[in-house]
Amino acid sequence: MNKEELIRGLNDDLAAEWGTIVRYTYQSSKAVGLRGAELRDLLAKEIPDELGHARYLTDVITDLGGDPQTQPKDFDKPSDIKAMVELDLKMEETDVHNYSNHAQMADELGLTGVKVKLEEMAADEYGHARDLRRILRGL
């Protein structure tokens, strides 16, 4: 375990956050009609959370001596509302997993503040996943 490995991991997380911000903005425009209304509202509410995550990661990567990622991770663009929600849920669950792993790495490096913040971000993503699961049950 070394600092470079953590920086690489956090940069992957950052690319995922930029991707999520772009994907949620894109999907909230494409989620039309009554079936799309609930998803549109939810995504609009969650975009500021993801932006907060991206800003934190940008700062912490810089603090650790790395160069923060500015390219969003690419994503699929299903046109069906249910497929959108399924994709978003899968991505949120992946984010929970990655933040938990990287919190552990930060802990091993003695970076307690980073560890705690990454755990909070894992909890945020867990909440997003729960909200998406609720929508999915109604589709």
Stretch that binds Fe ion, among 1-9, 22-30, 58-66, 88-96 (CB under 5 A): 88-96
Closer residue to Fe ion, CB minimum distance, 53 or 117: 53
User: Is the four-CA dihedral 36, 89, 47, 29 of positive or negative sign?
Assistant: negative
CB of 14 to Fe ion, least distance (A): 10
CB of 80 to Fe ion, least distance (A): 21
Residue 88 in the binding site for Fe ion (CB under 5 A) = no
Residue 50 in the binding site for Fe ion (CB under 5 A) = yes
Residue 53 in the binding site for Fe ion (CB under 5 A) = yes
Number of residues lying near Fe ion (CB under 5 A): 5
Task: Give the Cβ contact number of residue 84 at 10 Å.
Answer: 26
The answer to whether residues 87 and 27 touch, using CB atoms and an 8 Å cutoff, is: no
The answer to whether residues 106 and 20 touch, using CB atoms and an 8 Å cutoff, is: no
Task: Give the Cβ contact number of residue 59 at 10 Å.
Answer: 11
CB of 33 to Fe ion, least distance (A): 24
Residue 125 in the binding site for Fe ion (CB under 5 A) = yes
User: 138: which DSSP letter?
Assistant: T
CB of 28 to Fe ion, least distance (A): 14
User: 113: which DSSP letter?
Assistant: H
The footprint of Fe ion on residues 3-42 (CB under 5 A) is none
Task: Give the Cβ contact number of residue 135 at 10 Å.
Answer: 19
Residue 131 in the binding site for Fe ion (CB under 5 A) = no
